[in-house]
Amino acid sequence: MISFIVIGKNIEHTIDWCLQSVFKFIQTNNIFEYEIIYVDSDSSDSSVKLAQKYKIKIVMIKGDTNAAVGRNQGVAHSSGNILFFIDGDMEIQPNYFKAAFNHDGKLKYPLCTGDLLNKYYDINYNDLNESSYEFGKPLTGNSYQHTGGGFFVIEKKYWDILDGMDERFGRNEDSDFYLRMSRLRMPALRYKELFAVHHTVRYFDKYRIQTFLKSKNLHYYGLLIRKHFFYKTFFYKFVRGRYSMIILLSALINLNLLIVYLFVQLVRTAKNYQRDRKIILPLILKIFSDFYCIVGCFYYFKLPTPDKIIIYGN
């Protein structure tokens, strides 16, 4: 049995697209044993009301929560031996079933994901008629990966072995989970097939960046470093992807290196200009990201404490 677990908060613009894609995925691939669970993280818009139009189970989390709590609660109220996770601003692509599942409905590999196509909107969700693949262009082959996003399929027994997601993470909870699976010698298999279309506000929209900078989201990579620093696979990935943070840390000790750090960040931002069409905001985000990441390495992250959980449906 497949448990489709959709998580979301304030996704009234996309929840219909998401749930309709789940039902289309089920119908197209003749899936007979399934359940659909929508976990709402205290939305203040009409997300829950829109979800109630469908014959699904709805789990409402009130108060202090995050995506890790949402996924854990979704599993806690599920019955399937296969967990299919997707965010409420995504549309599952029907053809992904043939890539990940055998003819008998079992997974070919215990933890798998796929390609992702981002479709962009402005802050008011007006279609910008722009899109891009997660890695710039469609994947050309399957590969194993040690970190990733919250769209994946997993055999429940492995979820149970790891005791679900670490709820201290308000962000990067999915990468932490992938890394823990990798440490079990079971890295995620990323199929080249398109897993989902992601409907999202542009990542470098100024309002989105302002909200992001005001939140604590940039701290959480520091927690990821604390947990996995001595795991060789993560360490190499950290050095390759966050070398600017290492330079900044050195600059805090020797201020002469600050010029080197700023130069490196300018070069990195300029390389992405053709994709982002912005310089100042991405540069500010990169600098703050490195700084808060260093802070996060020493920060105390407490577990969220939801006020109550309300269940609708069977």
Q: What is the pLDDT of residues 103-161, one digit of tens each?
A: 999 999 999 999 999 999 998 899 999 999 998 899 999 999 999 999 999 999 999 99
Cα–Cα nearest to 67, from 114, 11, 123, 130: 11
Residue-range domain boundaries for the chain = 2-203+303-312, 208-296
234: helix, strand or coil: helix
Comparing 23-27, 52-56, 69-73, 309-313, the range with the smallest average pLDDT is 309-313
CATH code assigned to 2-203+303-312: 3.90.550.10
Q: How far apart are CA 155 and CA 297, in angstroms?
A: 32
pTM of the model: 0.93
Q: How far apart are CA 53 and CA 24, in angstroms?
A: 16
Q: List pLDDT tens digits, range 269-313.
A: 887 655 556 778 788 888 999 999 999 999 999 999 999 899 988
> 218 pLDDT exceeds 80?
yes
Cα–Cα nearest to 141, from 111, 102, 118, 114: 114
Number of Cβ atoms within 10 Å of the Cβ of 204 = 17
Give me the pLDDT at residue 211, please: 79
Q: List pLDDT tens digits, range 127-143.
A: 999 999 998 899 999 99
